[in-house]
Structure 1
Amino acid sequence: MNVTAPLSPVEISPEAPLLPADVELPAWLKACLEDMSRDRASQGECLICRAFRFAYDLHGGQYRKSGEPYIAHPVAVAGLLRDLGGDESMIAAGFLHDVVEDTAVTVAEIEQLFGGEVARLVEGVTKLSKFNFSSKTEHQAENFRRMFLAMAQDIRVIVVKLADRLHNMRTLEALGEEKQRRIARETREIFAPLANRLGIWRFKWELEDLAFKYLESEDYRQIQILVAEKRGDRESRLELVKDILRRRLEEIGVNLLELQARPKHLYGIYYKMVSQKKEFEEIYDIAALRVIVDSKDDCYRALAIVHDAFKPIPGRFKDYIGLPKPNRYQSLHTTVVGLNGRPLEVQIRTLEMHHIAEYGIAAHWKYKETGGSNTTQLSSSDEKFTWLRQLLDWQNDLKDAQEYVEHLKENLFDDDVYVFTPQGDVVSLARGATPVDFAYRIHTEVGHHMKGARINGQWLGVDTPLKNGDIVEIITQKNSHPSLDWLNFVVTPSARHRIRQWFKRSRRDENVLRGRELLEKELGKSGLESLLKSAPMQTVAERCNYQSVEDLLAGLGYGEVTLNLVVNRLRETTVKTQQTEVTLSSSPYIASPGHPTDKGSKSPIAGIEGLLYHIAGCCHPLPGEPIIGIVTRGAKGISIHRQGCPNVGHVEGERLIPVRWNPLNGSAQTYPVDIMIEAIDRVGVLKDILSRLSDHNINVRNAGVKTSFGKPALISLQIDIRDHEQLNSILAKIKNMTDIIDLRRVNAVETP
């Protein structure tokens, strides 16, 4: 793509033709430009026209892969936003959404020319365009987080991005097959569900159908043919039904605004066939009848007529007027036995409900509850965006990138179930949610102290899946606390995370206290408080790969770090804080700092050149850790131990030899290390840990799991590690996984 130089940030080129000849313009834009051309002096008054002319100048000489002028794309995007009822700033941003990325123009220049509102929208869309949602998990999670943050700041950003994606999907045939499939998959997994959550049905169904076209092209063509073949019979049958209903509604005085047949989109048919394992002939609701009336009262009167004219099918009635969907969708849905005994879905709604169903959040700008300006920023009291606020909460709760992405894809885009509190408040939860999920949605402490639940007045198990309309009452008790079993059936990420955090925190307090007691026993009680708050102690914590002194105490309490190491590091830091590799000369076990390094030696151990040696199996020392040699009584030569190993304390002084590690010099040699992991017992926890190790090229020699009912799982692993630094790094990554309660390095027993 050719990139043009930017125009002056203070004016738009007056020589640019108002009606360019090289691109086909829609009628609405032509009319706008023609009005403006009658009085060129008025160009400053029309934001939309100025944005088009600016984009036209900048994208001049640029062409899309299809060969058409690039300006055709922003024109199409602006047109989609106009059809949604977007304001001038949104439509202008549609024209300008690519100029910062594809030309030398800056956001500051956009702001100077078109104002801060347009500039913020353009900047937001530009940032979203750089996100790669099919990248590695960590990057993918970060991109999701940034996208939802941008949406919370101004929801119009994602609407502009959806329009951009829709037009790109319409013109995807110009790209290579691999790129087509990647973009189509991203569209189906991310952007179509977002359009659904925003209630923009027009975008949602077309995005799904276009993704379907490129991902399952054969199935797409087959269903397209089948739908076309049955269209004649279907339309004639629906016309007869429409005549019956139109006459009956007129008789009782219902103001019928519109009566239309809505064909089901192709991907919807395909999804139903696959999910329900049905053939095309078994899918009866290929089209639904939509009844649009004047008022909410007329909706229910029309429903009575439909049920009187045609036999309703039990269990197939849904009242989304009394209980709207999270994206504000409202309508009455019923399925009846139509002509020829075939089921027919009928939707009944008002004109305002219809606009909200078609345009979603965009209809919110047209039908504002209060007079004032458009509401585009996320408000804490705006119920239309509870799902987005929940996403922002997940961002804070779910630190593990893989878990965040999985929960996002599995839970964000599922249908919700609606239940009531005893006071009549509606709570929306993911389908399959239980009373435990409900309790944690009400408040964290309600979940932590939950004893049981009454559903519709009956005592039922806390793992009972909730259904639409259930009235749920949570019974709490001061001494009650979460159970590990809950993790086997809760479905909401927030509930699962809070249960895990409770177990971590409850054990953490005990571990911190135990760590303090160990230090107190070693260093004495006097002055310990001030020591724990000192800078040297914080340095010791960081050198032991902990963020805070409290984290270090917790690690000391449950054995992740040894008391010997903490005390030695503290002494080193206190004596010489400016040095990185310092040892205490007072220790009889530490090699002299002046010992020459044998860089030419092939042995990793310096100080025992030419002697037989082996790495002790009791402590498995690693390069980078202080070590000591012991002359064994048998024929094993020198046994190399970690300093502070319990077995060293029982050895006579004359058998101790000062040794140290030679520089690795790129050596790929590894050493076995045993670790013990205490994790929440769930299906797949070992697999997740092994996957994390595999991602960092760590070989696992042995793995074992012990489980007991209602207790955490104990996982023992022996892994191959290159040095102390690599061990600390991989232990930190495992420890950060949300299911991990405890993790420590294990020492076996060996007699030297």
Structure 2
Amino acid sequence: DFAYHVHTEVGHRCRGAKVNGRIVPLTYELKTGQQVDVLTTKTGGPSRDWLSPHLGYVKSNRARVKIRQWFIQQDQEKSIAVGRTALEREFQRLGVRHLKIDKVAERLGFARPDELFATIGHGALTTSQVIARIQDWLPPPAVAVETPLIAVRKPKTVEAGKDDVQIRGVGHLLTQMAHCCQPAPFEPIAGYITQGRGVTIHRQDCANLLALANQHSERIIEVSWGETPATYSVDVMIVAHDRSGLLRDITSILANEQVNVLGANTLTDRETSIARMGLTLEITDVLQLSRVLEKISQLRNVMEAYRKT
């Protein structure tokens, strides 16, 4: 923000800063009376990460506008390619496979997917904003008198509220979330009637559910999310070059986001120093998961962070 306040080009080429003689990150918040030295490069431009509200690089509207204008001025085809890659990476990171890009573009008011990609590419729209607009793609159905929606219980790991998962036209049934796909709130889901274990809730694109549907289609029933889902467990994988303090930095992000860790398993290859960290997190919705994975991906040495499917 300070660099853009000095001059637009200073902001574009800013790569670091010193405050009172000490090097600080670009997310450092300035205080009145401090002396600031902006470190710049001779060429280059802003990073799209600066526009992410979760990462805290810029807070002033002036800086955001200048950054977006810079990306708008870049080659349109490059912006489309960058936007496509960013959105596909975000969907892959969250384990989202059931959505069609043209439907997503239409939901956000774009006539064609390329317009959506270009808008993301030049920074006027972030992938987090896209996720926020589509996380409730399947709104809770209206309650009908003839076929009431009966609230049912949730998995053992969470104390379910009465409106967590709803089933049409059946009596009170025990439900549990499928361990194979672990559906998160507002993702498209379907129920499978088991023998003696009630109804198992799967994501609609779950490979196991599709196989079961081919063998026992009569056991597949319609289910939907209620209006107030509780927390849900989700498995994520973090791949990084191992370093001292990596686990501390990850747990710090989770603590700040108030995300509970239900389980952890870390394996490090001593020859390559590549660490693979599997975590089971307790989240409230896909948007929170997106925010957490984005912040973890920005940590030093982290190569990728994604939801396991």
Same fold (TM over 0.5): yes
Distance 1:640 1:682, change over 3 A: same
Out of 702, 723, 727, the position equivalent to 2:263 is 702
Indicate the structure with greater strand content: 2
CA–CA distance in structure 2, aligned partners of residues 576 and 142 of structure 1: 33
Residues 446-595 of structure 1 mapped to structure 2, 5 A cutoff: 533=80, 548-555=83-90, 559-562=92-95, 564-567=97-100, 570-571=102-103, 573-574=105-106
Equivalent residue for 1:606?
Answer: 166
Secondary structure in 1 matching 2:28: helix
**What SS is found at the alignment partner of 2:259?**
coil
User: Match for 2:85: what amino acid?
Assistant: E
Task: State the alpha-carbon separation in 2 of the partners of residues 392 and 655 from structure 1.
Answer: 63
Give the distance between the partners of 1:635 and 1:549, measured in 2 at CA: 45
Separation of aligned partners in 2, 1:606 and 1:613: 10
Q: Compared with structure 1, are the counterparts of its residues 143 and 616 closer, same or farther at alpha carbon in structure 2 (3 Å cutoff)? A: same
Q: Measured at CA, do residues 592 and 699 of structure 1 come closer, stay the same or move farther in structure 2, by a change above 3 Å?
A: closer
Provide the C-alpha distance between the structure 2 equivalents of 1:592 and 1:140, rounded to a whole number of angstroms: 39
**CA shift at 1:574, angstroms?**
4.7
Q: Distance in 1 between matches of 2:234 and 2:56?
A: 30
Please show how residues 299-314 of structure 1 align to structure 2 within 5 Å.
Answer: none
Among residues 200, 205, 227, which one is paired with 1:663 in the alignment? 227
Q: Which runs of 4+ in 1 moved over 6 A?
A: 137-140, 395-401
**Following the alignment from structure 2 to structure 1, what is the Cα–Cα distance between the partners of residues 223 and 151?**
16
**Structure 1 residue aligned with 2:298:** 736
Query: What SS does structure 2 have at the residue aligned with 1:732?
Result: helix
1:746 offset after TM fit, Å? 1.3
Compute the displacement of 1:711 (Å). 4.0
Partner of 1:722 in structure 2? 284
State the 1:698 CA deviation.
0.8
**What amino acid is the match of 1:390?**
L
Partner amino acid, structure 2, of 1:656 = I
Give how far 1:390 is off.
3.4
Q: Is the 8 A contact 2:151 2:165 kept in 1?
A: no
Distance in structure 2 (CA, Å) of the matches to 1:658 and 1:576: 27
SS of structure 1 residue aligned to 2:207: coil
Q: What residue number does 2:39 align with?
A: 390
2: CA distance, partners of 1:564 / 1:140: 33
Kept after mapping to 2: 8 A contact 1:606/1:661? yes
- One of 175, 178, 182 as aligned partner of 1:616: 178
Work out the CA distance in 2 between the residues paired with 1:388 and 1:739: 27
Residue 383 (structure 1) aligns with: none
Unmatched tracts of structure 1, length 5 or more: 1-119, 121-132, 148-160, 162-190, 195-386, 406-529, 539-546, 584-590, 748-752
Runs (5+) with no aligned partner, structure 2: 1-5, 7-19, 58-76, 111-132, 153-161
1:684 alignment partner, one of 242, 245, 250: 245
The corresponding residue for 1:236 is: none
How far is 1:707 from its partner?
A: 1.2
TM-superposed CA distance for 1:599, in Å, is 9.4
Counterpart-to-counterpart distance in 1, 2:179 and 2:225: 17
| Per-residue deviation, 1:704 | 2.1
SS at 1:727 equivalent: helix
How does 1:110-125 map onto structure 2 within 5 Å? none
Residues 578-609 of structure 1 show CA distances to partners (whole Å, capped at 9, x for unaligned) of 996556xxxxxxx9966648598814111155
**Cα pair distance change 1:599/1:739, threshold 3 Å:** farther
Alpha-carbon spacing, 1:677–1:653, altered in 2? closer, same or farther (3 Å): same
2:202 paired with 1:641:
yes
Indicate how the Cα distance of structure 1 residues 727 and 553 shifts in structure 2: closer, same or farther if over 3 A, else same. Answer: closer
Work out the CA distance in 1 between the residues paired with 2:56 and 2:107: 44
Name which structure has the greater RCO, CA cutoff 8 Å, separation 6+. 2
Identical positions, percent: 26
Q: Is the 8 A contact 1:599 1:663 kept in 2?
A: no
Q: Determine the structure 1 residue equivalent to 2:233.
A: 672
- Change in 2 beyond 3 A, CA 1:686/1:576: closer
Change (3 A) 1:563 1:726: closer
Larger Rg: 1
Shift in Å, 1:656: 0.9
CA–CA separation in structure 2 for the residues paired with 1:641 and 1:695: 30
Conserved in 2, the CA contact under 8 Å of 1:576 and 1:582?
no
- Are residues 1:693 and 2:226 paired? no
* Aligned counterparts of 1:722 and 1:138: Cα–Cα separation in 2: 30
8 Å contact kept, 1:678–1:741 = yes
Kept in 2, the 8 Å contact 1:701–1:717? The answer is yes
AA partner of residue 188 (structure 2): P
- CA deviations on 1:680-727 (whole Å, 9 max, x unpaired) are 211111110011101111111112221122342111111111222222
SS state at 1:142 partner: coil
Residue 741 of structure 1 aligns with an amino acid whose one-letter code is M
Call closer, same or farther: CA 1:141–1:592 in 2, change over 3 Å.
closer
Instruction: Check conservation: 2:151, 2:164, Cα contact below 8 A.
Output: no
1:118-137 pair list within 5 angstroms: none
Judging by fraction of residues, say which structure has more helix. 1
- Deviation, structure 1 residue 658: 0.9
Are residues 711 and 139 of structure 1, via their aligned partners in 2, closer, same or farther at CA, if it must alter by over 3 Å? Answer: closer
Alignment-derived partner of residue 746 in structure 1: 308
Aligned counterpart, 2:218: 654
Q: Aligned-pair distance for 1:678?
A: 0.8
The letter for the 2-side match of 1:552 is L
- Return the alpha-carbon distance in structure 1 between the equivalents of residues 239 and 182 of structure 2: 21
Over 3 Å counting, the alpha-carbon distance change for 1:637 and 1:570 in structure 2 is farther
Change (3 A) 1:705 1:594: same
- The question of whether the paired residues in 2 share the 8 Å contact of 1:693 and 1:699 is answered with yes
The alpha carbon displacement at 1:138 in A equals 9.3
Which TM-score applies when normalising by structure 1?
0.26
